[in-house]
Structure 1
Amino acid sequence: MRWRRSDSNLRRRHSPIFPSSYPSQPSLHVPSVVHEPDHTRFVLTENDDFAELRYRLDGSVVTIIHTFVPGVWRGRGFAAQLVKSALTWAAAEDFRIIAECDYADGFIRRHPSYAHLLATRSDSIRETDLS
């Protein structure tokens, strides 16, 4: 038997069916970033889960050490949100950035508008000499 577009079986096989028993989409709620300077981190929390960006502050140089996003949150832009928050804070405080974290380094490379925040070797030496 030859299938034609008008065949009801063909249409039935290719028609999406969304019964009301399907689970709803996951919540699109985006938790807001909180800066915890006493713990040298930026954090997103919701229920028992959290994502964080850890940094070290040496004078006017901020070293982004680590970014962590739990598996259930990955792919939703939370790491980018953390890095943007840290970079915005650093710019407001007139700090320079060293990105030891691979994700933060890649983010800055993909967004050259943040490149002016990168610390130069002289920034790092100057802060070390002052300590």
Structure 2
Amino acid sequence: MSRCLVDQRKVVSFIERCMVAVGTKSNHARSLAEVLVEGDRRGHYSHGLNRMDMYVKDIQLGVCAKEGEPAVEKETVATALVDGKNLLGPVVGKFCMDLAIKKAQDVGIGWVVAHGKLAFLFAAK
């Protein structure tokens, strides 16, 4: 059995270029690329590059939005409700994860949920 190894940075760049070509914002394309490559790197091939065509089709068909940013609708010092604006799941997930981590660092716990894409994140200090 022969193996073909491709530099991780080249794969991330390829995914980014594909997603930008179908209209995704470059920072959103980067977030998606990092998640897909990490999925493969960790051996979760069902959630790695295998999903690339699904994301391209979702953007092309308008299933996922190309424009906008996730937005906090309601929040307390430890919780938040986020509108994912129907953006790519990894984009919404990263936004929520970063917010949950910040809240956990500030007050010891962070609990963030989103609608408009499936995301539920919890962080504790």
Band of TM-score, shorter chain: 0.3 to 0.5
Q: TM-score, normalised by structure 1?
A: 0.36
Structure with max Cα Rg = 1
Q: Which structure's residues are more often strand, by fraction? A: 1
